[in-house]
Structure 1
Amino acid sequence: MYQIKGKEKIFVYTGPDGSGRKTIAKMVATAFDMETVISYTTRSPRHYEKNGEDYHFVNEETFNQMESQHEFLESVEIDGIHYGIREQDIIQAFQNHEYVYLTLNPEGTEKLKNMYGDNVVRIFIYADRDTVIKRQHNRQDADDVIERHMTHYDETMNYKNSCEYAYENYDSPQVAYQISELIESFLDRNLEVSDY
């Protein structure tokens, strides 16, 4: 397992599907030189998703092979779909950046938290049920996909109280600004104070 060094931190955005966690994560990352690590998944890409940008889309066989070669730092299965974070990707991200961010479901988030403790900062992004459904419709998710997401909504929302920070996403730029201020406070905490 990769050992986190010095000031390195992993910021994990989690929350219900359609809460806008990816959008906010990208907005915040542009303000700081933050590298993202993209998950591997066995699900098919949605029409607006790009391979290597949203996920690394792989088939079941490739995923199982990677799993058997212990390439994943963590992996989970949800509704028969596999998701995993490749350890090598985390190592590479930390080569040039002290702060790395991920967008994960609560299961994956919890696994990382258990591995790295205080070096993982969980940021829960949420919106009410109707807003989440509307956003998924707006991005033209299939009805069965939305339905599958919504079966996990309450369970996902229960994870909010376990996270270090939670933000209701009613206005993405506003929330991104608040999270940027939060990350700024982590940067400040790392400043060396010296007397002249």
Structure 2
Amino acid sequence: MYTIKEKEQLFIYTGPDGSGRKTIAKMVATSFDMETVLSYTTRSPRHYEKDGEDYHFVSLEQFKKMDQNKEFLESVEIDGFHYGIREQDIVDAFKNNQLVYLTLNPEGTEKLKQMYGDRVTRFFIYADKDTVFNRLKARQESEEDIKRHMNHYHETMNYKNQCEHYFENFDLPQVSYQISEVIESFLERNLIITDY
């Protein structure tokens, strides 16, 4: 397992699908020149997703081989699909930056929190059920995917109070600003100097 050094920090965005966590994570990252680490998954890309930008899309055979080679820092199976974070990707990200962010489901988030404790700061991004449903529809998700996401909504929301910070995403710029302020105060507290 990679040992996170003194000034290094992982920021993890989690919450229900359709809450806007990825968009917010990207907006905040630009302010701090943060590096991201993408998950590997065996599910097919959705029509708006790009390999190497949203996920690394791999076959089940490739995923199992990587798993056997102990390449994953953590991996989970959700609805028959596998997801994993490759340890080397974390190592490489920290070579370039002391601040690294990920967008993960609660299962993956919790595993990394248990591994790294206070080196992980969790941002839970959420919206009410109707808003999430409407966003998923607007994204032109398939009926099957929408149903799958909605089935996990309450279970995912149960994780909210375990996270260090949570924000209802009703206004993207506002929430991005609030999260940036949290990160600013974290940097000042730990006296990390970054070039932003």
TM-score when normalising by structure 2: 0.97
In the TM superposition, residue 2 of structure 1 has moved relative to its aligned partner by 0.2
Aligned to 2:28: 28
Identity %: 73
Alpha-carbon distance in structure 2 between the residues aligned to 1:135 and 1:42: 24
Q: For 1:139, give the aligned amino acid.
A: R
Displacement after TM superposition at 1:191 (Å):
2.1
- Aligned partner of 1:58 in structure 2 is 58
- Please show how residues 79-158 of structure 1 align to structure 2 within 5 Å: 79-158=79-158
- Displacement of 1:82 in angstroms is 0.3
RMSD, aligned CA: 0.7
Partner of 1:47: 47
- For the residue of structure 2 that corresponds to 1:74, the secondary structure is strand
- 1:76 is matched with 76
Q: Which amino acid aligns with 1:57?
A: F
Shift of 1:147: 0.2
Amino acid at match of 1:74: E
Q: Which residue identity lines up with residue 112 of structure 2 in the other structure?
A: L
Q: What displacement does 1:96 show? A: 1.2
Deviations 1:78-115 (A, max 9, x none): 01000000000000000010110000000000000000
Distance 1:191 1:147 in 2: 45
Could you tell me how far apart the structure 1 residues matched to 2:151 and 2:92 are? Answer: 35
In the aligned structure 2, how far is the partner of 1:106 from the partner of 1:6? Answer: 25
Cα deviation, 1:93-142, whole Å, max 9, x if unaligned, reads 00010110000000000000000000000100000000001000111000
Amino acid at match of 1:36: T
Moved over 3 A (4+): none
CA displacement 1:26-79 (0-9 Å, x = unmatched): 000000010000000000000000000000000100000000000000000001
> How high is the TM-score relative to the length of structure 1?
0.97
CA distance in 1, matches of 2:96, 2:191: 19
| CA shift for structure 1 position 164 | 0.3
Point out where structure 1 has 5 or more consecutive residues left out of the alignment: none
Q: Distance in 2 between matches of 1:171 and 1:111?
A: 29
Distance 1:72 1:111 in 2: 12
Matches of 1:172 and 1:60, distance apart in 2: 35
Give, in whole Å, the separation in 2 of the partners of 1:191 and 1:37.
24
Separation of aligned partners in 1, 2:35 and 2:188? 19
Query: For residues 146 and 69 of structure 2, what CA distance do their matches in structure 1 show?
Result: 33
Q: Which residue identity lines up with residue 174 of structure 1 in the other structure?
A: Q
